Structure 1
Amino acid sequence: MLGQPYKTPGVYIHEVVVATEAELQSGVPLFIGYAGDGIARGLTEVSQWERFAALFGTPAPGSFLAYAVRGFFANGGRLCYVLCLDRAEPVAGALERALAQLAHELLLEKVDLICAPDLLLFPGQETELQQKLLDFCRIGIGESDFNIFAILDPLPAATADTALAQRQALTGDDGALYYPWIRVADGPAATDGCIPPSGHIAGIYARSDRQTGVHKAPANEVIEEALDLATNLTDQDQSVLNPGQVNCLRVFPGRGIRVWGARTVSREPAWLYVNVRRQFLAISRWIARKMVVMTFEPNDAALWMRVRREINSYLTGLYRKGAFQGNSSEEAFYVKCDAEINTQERRDRGELIVEIGLATAVPGEFIIIRIVQAEGKVTVTPQTAPITTTPVSNLSGFASATGVVIAAITENPAGPDLAGEHLLLRNQGSAPVEMTNWVLKDRVGHRLLFPRFIFQPGMEVRVWTKRGDNSLTDLYWGHQAPLWNNTGDEAYLYDSQEHLIASFEYIRSN
């Protein structure tokens, strides 16, 4: 160490503390509700049930908050935050104030779940108040995106029909509804010992996240400290509620009371499952934190390489934990950050664009996510619909019933441009094929949208990588770099409805 006097010979050891980036935690809920009279604390971190009891007291009359927090820790939760509402304030305003305080104090660093069982204390307002939670999860407040997921409780004394109606009245991707209520020791006499299940479910989320990861569906999990259910559901009930996106809690003799569903309330097919949506939210939190530190760096090829390297490293770690589908990382995800999507116009506006694809359900079928960093803010959003990139068949030239095949790929000869690189399509059928708005893709997501084009039987058309003027026999992609120059590069042809029509694997000639 400089400046340290050493007066005798010998070996000197100094401890050097290296600061490491704190890992983002998951399975950390914010509980919003009412505590005992006179208790109106601000946002409070709680790491064990005894700490909550010391701060807020035992369960207060007319409140489910304490039961929910106790259920959270009983089921494996380790950290939560509590925000008490003021009983003297109308609930809608109190909830909005609480969410604004969360936005101000936590941003996206602290919590990823939200539970508010006491919203059920206001007959006729329950669903409207729960919708406020979903809206907050979706758009946050002001300039902040929170990537938070809401665990929603069913209405008091709900039947299967009313639970379905409640679900149908809710709109949003970032929430899940569980039914029915659970019976606990010393539960409220007014509800026959039953309480809303969200606190217990949040603990199961935390336990599952810690043991396996956010990518695991929090289903087929035992609910600890649940004595019974307010309603025992049958297989027939399950067959109606599950497709209706109401997650059932079931009693199984000899196996305990279990969570028997993992569906969100989303109307988007891509976000049907809790684990898929939460995985997206978790990745969004990580990317937002990582990229915000790059705000003032030059937007050039060196930065793009750094972005690709760091995100690839992160996603590779998740892939090795089983977060994505696929026999290889190429089938599981991709990261794109280059000059094609970071055009000069976007760079002049101060924008950095990254696109990633995640195979969360089927190998090679990617949910596409676009990340935009601009003006010191990072926005992470999915495309309006997943873009399907089905893995290539082992057989080159696979043909669909249309008769259209990818017959060959010709590599570019040596030289400074792309004069020779092209893909050859052939109509081997007996009828014309309308190819307007068909799409040709490579493995990393480059897309050529076909113009108005009728492919006559027996015809061939060359799709050139370079720029040019389209004709009946030649179409031009408009790229400035080769697409088909490595063995194993793949081409996919889709019709206007995104159905796979043909695929081809390029084998480089030697």
Structure 2
Amino acid sequence: MKTPGVYVKEQSASPNLVVEAATAVPAFIGYTQIAKIGDMSLLNKPVKVNSLTEFNHYFGYAPSPKFELKEGDAQDFTISLEGVDNEVVYCVLKRKDRYSLYYNLRLFFANGGGYCYIVSVGNYDDELSKDQFISGIDTLLEEQEPTMVLVPEAVNLENKQDCFDIQTAVLKHCGMIMRNRFAILDIYNGYKDIKDEDVVSEFREAIGTEFLGFGATYYPWLSTSIVSDEEIDFCNIDKESWGRLKELLNAGYPHLSQYINGIDETKYGKLEFNEINTINKVLRNHSKFYADILSAIKLQLNLLPPGAAMAGIYTLVDNAKEVWKAPANIGLSNVIGPVVNISHAAQEDLNVPINGKAVNPIRYFVGEGVKVWGARTLDGNSLDWRYINVRRTMIMLEESIKNAIKTYVFDANNANTWGSVRSMINNFLNSIWMRGGLTGAAPHDAFSVHIGLGETMTAEDILDGIMRVSVLVALVRPAEFIEITFQQQMQKS
């Protein structure tokens, strides 16, 4: 002070605050109709979207799936036609493309999903590629906000090993490279009953043994109501199959020939919306065979893996009950039911296998509907990281404290700084404990923060510029098994 006068000096009375990190921000990697804003390409760039409408603006709409119609023996997705002389013709529908990210996003938003990140790795003219999916995972390295990673179209790859390679890459990304996000994986061919084909064991063997505490999976796939009747018409049948279908329809329903033959090869795929709607309505209402074909197409499109729905459930639970609530015993929306019914006995191996790679079942309960009935990570043999909510809570605590403590980088490594750090973390953990995120009758039972010379650091650490902080927390674990004991007692009066 060189000039006489009054000088005001403000001094902070409170330590810095720890801002709680976001917990429910999934990143979806897959194929979209477009990927651009204006003239700028968004391909292989993580883009944050807040709704399906915003997704449409950047990435377009649903694919126009084409199905091939083949005559064959009765099997899955088979439609029969009683033609001339009551002859039964079996037709098998096979989907020619495998794009499903858009439908998975619908399922995500329907089950409570909020904002998310989209990484478009190609468009509907490209073939699904393992390398493209893995390169999409790498684009998330520079993004700090996502807390979940999903590649729902990986299960659509023809080579199942490619799917497993992608899933192990996602686990590595979450558990080794970033260590601040969680992988939600789907089981390849998860619509099949394990009694017929043990797809669960295949998944467990292929997923490896590393970073299992950073991922979870669910079984079986879901029969949903995401795609409606109005979205399916004869345009979903490929041009080559339409010629044969016309023959079958004309043979079984000659009175509809005006409408059937009105769709000739020159007009196929070029009709106006009103023409398509009129013809489709007439054929659907008067031809059971045609209606069965459209129903089979809708059934296939609505058969979705549960990962995207679970990302929505995680978001819903985090927003309504906090991240430390296990995302289980929750009903699913826009879901008709699981495609495989799982009994109490069948769940035993899914939930508590010898190798610890737990698979969380989705089950139907009479009078209650479809519910998520498991809350375990793939690391079920670990007492520390067995439960999804425990891992995700720890990720939130680590990220929140790590981001807050950056303020003290290059500050003096002395008692004043240590006291500020301890006070800041204590205040944050106390607020988490008061909200039920840590377990203990009193704060000192729920957490403790250690920092200082002789406590977490040596004199050599201080000379090396290292400040060590040790945080102990008692996390909330779910009541997974509830046992009620009944015993008769002697009459007392």
TM class, shorter-length = 0.5 to 0.7
Aligned-pair distance for 1:328?
Answer: 1.0
Distance (Å, rounded) in 1 between the aligned partners of 2:302 and 2:332: 16
Aligned-pair distance for 1:114?
Answer: 1.0
The aligned residue for residue 294 of structure 1 is 408
Of 447, 457, 469, 1:354 maps to 469
Aligned-pair distance for 1:326?
Answer: 1.3
Aligned-pair distance for 1:37?
Answer: 6.4
Of 41, 46, 71, 1:43 maps to 46
> Does residue 29 in structure 1 map to residue 67 in structure 2?
no
Residues 80-105 of structure 1: per-residue CA shift (max 9 Å, x gap): 0100113658733323322222112x
Distance (Å, rounded) in 2 between the aligned partners of 1:148 and 1:335: 24
Residues 194-249 of structure 1: per-residue CA shift (max 9 Å, x gap): 11111110111011011111111000001111112121111111122111310000
RMSD: 2.3
> Does residue 256 in structure 1 map to residue 379 in structure 2?
no
Aligned-pair distance for 1:321?
Answer: 1.1
Local SS of the residue matching 2:314:
helix
Listed as ranges, the gaps of 5+ residues in structure 1 are 1-18, 363-510
> Does residue 199 in structure 1 map to residue 311 in structure 2?
no
Flag the 1:38–1:320 CA change in 2: closer, same or farther, 3 A. Answer: closer
The aligned residue for residue 325 of structure 1 is 439
Q: Is the 8 A contact 2:149 2:182 kept in 1?
A: yes
Give % identity.
Answer: 30
Question: Which one has more relative contact order, counting CA pairs under 8 Å at least 6 apart?
Answer: 2
Local SS of the residue matching 1:176:
strand
Of 111, 129, 151, 2:166 maps to 129
For 2:321, the aligned partner's letter is T
Residues 258-308 of structure 1: per-residue CA shift (max 9 Å, x gap): 110000012532100000011111111111101122111011111111111
Correspondence 1:394-405 to 2 at 5 A? none
Of 246, 252, 273, 2:387 maps to 273
For 1:184, the aligned partner's letter is T
Local SS of the residue matching 2:384:
helix
> Does residue 81 in structure 1 map to residue 117 in structure 2?
yes
The aligned residue for residue 149 of structure 1 is 182
> Does residue 64 in structure 1 map to residue 64 in structure 2?
no
The aligned residue for residue 307 of structure 1 is 421
Local SS of the residue matching 1:271:
coil
The aligned residue for residue 343 of structure 1 is 458
Aligned-pair distance for 1:186?
Answer: 5.0
For 2:182, the aligned partner's letter is F
Residues 392-425 of structure 1: per-residue CA shift (max 9 Å, x gap): xxxxxxxxxxxxxxxxxxxxxxxxxxxxxxxxxx
The aligned residue for residue 93 of structure 2 is none
TM-score normalised by length of structure 1: 0.62
Distance (Å, rounded) in 2 between the aligned partners of 1:89 and 1:226: 29
Of 153, 166, 178, 1:118 maps to 153
The aligned residue for residue 131 of structure 2 is 93
The count of residues paired between Structure 1 and Structure 2 equals 337
Local SS of the residue matching 2:340:
coil
- Of stretches 129-138 and 351-360 in structure 1, the one that deviates more from structure 2 is 351-360
Aligned-pair distance for 1:193?
Answer: 2.6
* Greater fraction helix: 2
TM-score normalised by length of structure 2: 0.64
- Of stretches 245-254 and 33-42 in structure 1, the one that deviates more from structure 2 is 33-42
For 2:376, the aligned partner's letter is R
Flag the 1:342–1:317 CA change in 2: closer, same or farther, 3 A. Answer: same
- Of stretches 167-176 and 301-310 in structure 1, the one that deviates more from structure 2 is 167-176
Local SS of the residue matching 2:398:
helix
Distance (Å, rounded) in 1 between the aligned partners of 2:20 and 2:445: 27
The aligned residue for residue 348 of structure 2 is 239
Of 317, 328, 340, 1:219 maps to 328
Listed as ranges, the gaps of 5+ residues in structure 2 are 1-15, 37-41, 66-97, 228-296, 478-493
Q: Is the 8 A contact 1:249 1:258 kept in 2?
A: yes
Aligned-pair distance for 1:322?
Answer: 0.9
Distance (Å, rounded) in 2 between the aligned partners of 1:168 and 1:138: 19
Distance (Å, rounded) in 1 between the aligned partners of 2:205 and 2:445: 35
